[in-house]
Amino acid sequence: MMEIRKSKDRGLADHGWLRSLHSFSFADYYDPEHEGFSDLRVINEDRIQPGTGFGTHGHRDMEIISYVLEGALAHKDSMGNGSTMVPGDVQRMSAGKGVLHSEFNDSKDAVTHFLQIWIEPDVRGIAPSYEQKHFDEASKRGRLRLVASPDGREGSVTIHQSAFLYAGLLDGADRVVHKLEPGRRAYLHVARGAVTANGESLEAGDALKVVDAAAVVLERAKDAEVLLFDLA
């Protein structure tokens, strides 16, 4: 089974300082047909205007992944962490029993464009934790690079769930086949550009749900940046 989620059908929240597109139900946007996919709960495509951002707020029992596409994102949290994320960085924050954090665009003239991703954990009430790693373009060019996994394999950040997140930069003759183990499913999100996935043409913001398939095949790409979730 395959199902396309078109970019134009996502929920939209425009607060002036923040423009956010929701792939799944989030905040004031509710769509009973799109409340998540397996343990994947949120993919928000956010654009934060210069000099603005999310003030200090709390989370509990969620694996929160940030993936910057353009600009920079400054992070501070109640665990004492402080960092600035740039394109290529992947940040994982396990909210656990509770954490406070803020995210800001400190630039005077550049918009920050990033993806905010939430995955439901397989454990609750753990101590909150934080991790950030950089994955350069070369490591994602023409392939799917593992950037998040339950065991931190291949240098990926570690999440508390049987979920694997891959990032890829594909173009031209690039062809990538990601095999799925029996009983697992995939969610492909196209962050930029265009790509054909299992014969379906997708553009920026589009997504493809894949269930009961042996593999996800990516080809005929044009300046594409993709995120592939391999889920239980």
Name, in order, each residue with C-beta under 8 angstroms of 220's C-beta and a sequence gap of 6 or more. Answer: 195, 196
Name, in order, each residue with C-beta under 8 angstroms of 219's C-beta and a sequence gap of 6 or more. Answer: 174, 175, 176, 195, 196
How many CB atoms lie under 10 A from the CB of residue 76?
15
Predicted local distance difference test score (pLDDT) of residue 19? 98
Q: For residue 169, how far is the Cα from the chain centroid?
A: 14
Element holding 113 (H helix, E strand): strand 112-119
User: Three-state SS for 154?
Assistant: helix
**Does residue 70 contact residue 50 with C-beta atoms inside 8 Å?**
no
Predicted local distance difference test score (pLDDT) of residue 123? 97
C-alpha to C-alpha distances, 9 to 17, 21, 131, 173, 204, nearest whole angstrom: 22, 9, 32, 30, 13
Predicted local distance difference test score (pLDDT) of residue 98? 98
Can you list the residues of the chain whose pLDDT is less than 50?
none
User: Three-state SS for 212?
Assistant: coil
**Does residue 230 contact residue 150 with C-beta atoms inside 8 Å?**
no
- Rounded CA gap, 9 and 229, in Å? 20
Predicted local distance difference test score (pLDDT) of residue 32? 96
Q: Which residues pair with 94 in a beta bridge?
A: 63, 129
Predicted local distance difference test score (pLDDT) of residue 162? 98
Q: Supply the pTM of this predicted model.
A: 0.97
Instruction: List, for residues 126-175, the tens digit of each pLDDT value.
Output: 999 999 999 999 999 999 999 999 999 999 999 999 999 999 999 999 99
Q: For residue 119, how far is the Cα from the chain centroid?
A: 9
The pair of structure tokens assigned to 53 is 């951002």
